Structure 1
């Protein structure tokens, strides 16, 4: 088995770039995954692992054998190398280099005639994206769509904050125009969380093919969403502010849809 002990190793320097730079992830077609649960979810989600790296002081060869197959490339790394690559101080001594999937909206398909989709337009904070993905996983949504994405899905902060749900959700990306065209072509009702021309969210029927669309807290949704919606909806506020965290709003809306569908 190959071993790397120096943080000056050229391959390790490349992996540091994968961790830190979206441009390098896109250029190389690779990204880093950290932690046992996250790697297991990536494997479950059908992701292809290029290499698995482990620090034997935290992760044993027996654990490695349980996680990988005989065909997987594995590298033993030193403590210094592991600490250079690790994003968190509490992970279990194992990382993987993986290949991303395509997330084109044109490739999105459903196994049901009444899909439940969660859409976020231009979310900027990785923590919010991760929380949205966790919410979608908890609700067993049929898909999450990111409109006008500001970064790539394989940012370590998104992987961490989603606790690996970025690998198990069906995710698509595209421009707002492309996504609206896709939804209309598939006869999917569009419910936009917006203040303008809106009704209380719980008055709508979410049992049919449904897309729930949320925007950023700062600017909300673009006009293109609002004018193309089946109905704009609002979560009534009873305090002093007129909005809430986007991931919280997404959770309220999607679980109302699940309630109407009797959590099927």
Structure 2
């Protein structure tokens, strides 16, 4: 088993580039995963793990054997190397180098004939994307689709904030026009969270194939969505502001749809 103790090691510098730069992740098709739970979920989600790096004072060989039976390259690293690579202040002393998956919309397969889908247009903050993925996982949605993404899905902030739910959801990306065409081709109703020409979300029937579409808090959804919406919907506000965090709004709408479907 290989041992690396210097943060200046060429391979470690390469991994730092993967962690910090979207361009490097896209070029290589590789990304870093940090944490035991996250790596376990990636394995469960069918991601191919190339290498595991571990700091033995925090993560033992026995724990590695329990993690997976796959033949994976193992590298023991020093505390200094671990601190160079780790994204979080507190974690379990284990990282993995994994292959990315294709997230093209054309590859998305909907197993459910009556799907419930979340679409997020141009989310800017990785933390919000992670929160949306956690909500989607909690509701067991059929898919999450990101329109006009501002960052790659394997940004370490998304992996971290999703707590590994990046690996448990069916995820696709595409342009707004591509996604609208996909939804229409699959006869999926489009419900857009918007202020304009909207009705109370509680008045709508989400029992048929449904996509709930949310935009950014700053600018909302583009006109393409509003012009192609089955119905624009709104969550009535009782305070001084007219919007809430996108992940909170999505959660409210998604779980109303789930309530209708679970108790109809």
Q: How would you bin the TM-score normalised by the shorter chain?
A: over 0.9
Q: 1:11 to 1:263 in 2, by over 3 A?
A: farther
Cα deviation code 1:41-98 (max 9, x no counterpart): 0000000001000000111110111113351111101110001000012111000000
Once residues 70 and 218 of structure 2 are traced to their aligned partners in structure 1, the CA distance between those partners, rounded to angstroms, is 49
- Does 2:76 match 1:45? no
How many Å separate the matches in 1 of 2:129 and 2:112? 25
Q: Which moved more, 1:63-72 or 1:169-178?
A: 63-72
Where 2:262 maps in the other structure, the secondary structure is coil
TM-score, normalising length: structure 1? 0.98
- 2:10 maps to what in 1? 10
1:166 and 2:180 correspond: no
Q: TM-score, normalised to structure 2's length?
A: 0.98
What is the deviation of 1:5? 0.7
Segments of structure 2 that go 5 or more residues without pairing to the other structure are: none
- What is the alpha-carbon distance in structure 2 between the residues aligned to residue 45 and residue 121 of structure 1? 24
Report the equivalent of 1:100: 100
SS of the residue corresponding to residue 261 of structure 1 reads: helix
Structure 1 regions of 5+ residues with no counterpart? none
Q: Displacement of 1:113 after TM fit?
A: 1.2
Residue by residue over 1:17-54, the C-alpha shift from the partner in whole angstroms, topping out at 9 and shown as x without a partner, is 11111111111110000000000000000000010000
Could you tell me how far 1:263 is from its partner in structure 2? 6.5
Alignment deviations for residues 186-214 of structure 1 (CA, whole Å, 9 cap, x no partner): 00000000111110001111010000000
Alignment length (residue pairs): 264
Aligned to 2:59: 59
Residues 222-250 of structure 1: CA deviation (Å, up to 9, x unaligned): 00000000000000011111111000000
Q: String of CA shifts for 1:136-192, please: whole Å, max 9, x gaps.
A: 000000000000000101111111110000010000000000000000000000000
Partner SS for 1:152: coil
Distance across 2 between alignment mates of 1:70 and 1:234: 48
Please list, as runs of the form range in 1=range in 2, the aligned pairs for 1:18-167 lying within 5 A after superposition. Answer: 18-69=18-69, 71-167=71-167
Equivalent position of 2:229 in the other structure = 229
Per mean C-alpha deviation after superposition, the further-off stretch among 103-112 and 224-233 is 103-112
- Cα deviation for residue 110 of structure 1 reads 1.3
The Cα RMSD (Å) is 1.0
